[in-house]
Amino acid sequence: MPQPITFFLGLALVAFCAWMALKPNYVFFIRIRNGKATATKGKLVGKFLRDVEDALQVEQVRDGWIGAVHDRQRCLRLVFPKSWHFGAQQRIRNIWGSYR
């Protein structure tokens, strides 16, 4: 193989490994499309998903995602898209708190 191809393949491998090491490891992940919440990773109670859908309808959020990751103290922390306003995020956190 020519030298430039080997260099770019090596660079691509390093970039992929860095991406895999730095991406968040979600405990659960919920995708929201057109106001419908679907768990794509992890197991969640159906009532929690319905409560999330109801809250998002009130907050007028139609699309996005909700993820849960472990923080440094190994507690679950909810993460949201940056485009969601604080009220929608806090409402979901309050709902999550009632299910823990």
pLDDT digits (tens, 9 = 90+) for 6-41: 888 888 888 888 777 777 788 999 999 999 999 999
Stated pTM of the model: 0.74
Residue 6 falls within a domain, yes or no? no
Our count of domains for the chain comes to 1
Question: Would you call 8 helix, strand, or coil by DSSP?
Answer: helix
Kindly state the average pLDDT of the residues 78-89.
94
Residue 7 falls within a domain, yes or no? no
What is the radius of gyration, based on Cα positions, of the chain?
Answer: 18
Residue 61 falls within a domain, yes or no? yes
Residue 19 falls within a domain, yes or no? no
**Sign of the CA dihedral with 9 first, then 13, 16, and 22 last:** negative
Query: In this prediction, what percent of the chain has a pLDDT beyond 90?
Result: 59
Residue 9 falls within a domain, yes or no? no
Structure tokens at 95: 């709902």
* Amino acid, res. 28: F
Residue 3 falls within a domain, yes or no? no
Return d(Cα 85, Cα 13) in angstroms, integer.
37
Residue 81 falls within a domain, yes or no? yes
The chain-wide mean pLDDT, for the chain, equals: 88
Return d(Cα 15, Cα 13) in angstroms, integer.
5
Angle formed by the axes of helices 46-58 and 86-99, nearest 10°: 160
Domain of residue 32 covers 24-99
* Amino acid, res. 82: K
- Pairing relation of β-strands 28-33 and 64-70? antiparallel
Residue 8 falls within a domain, yes or no? no
The more confident residue out of 94 and 15 is 94
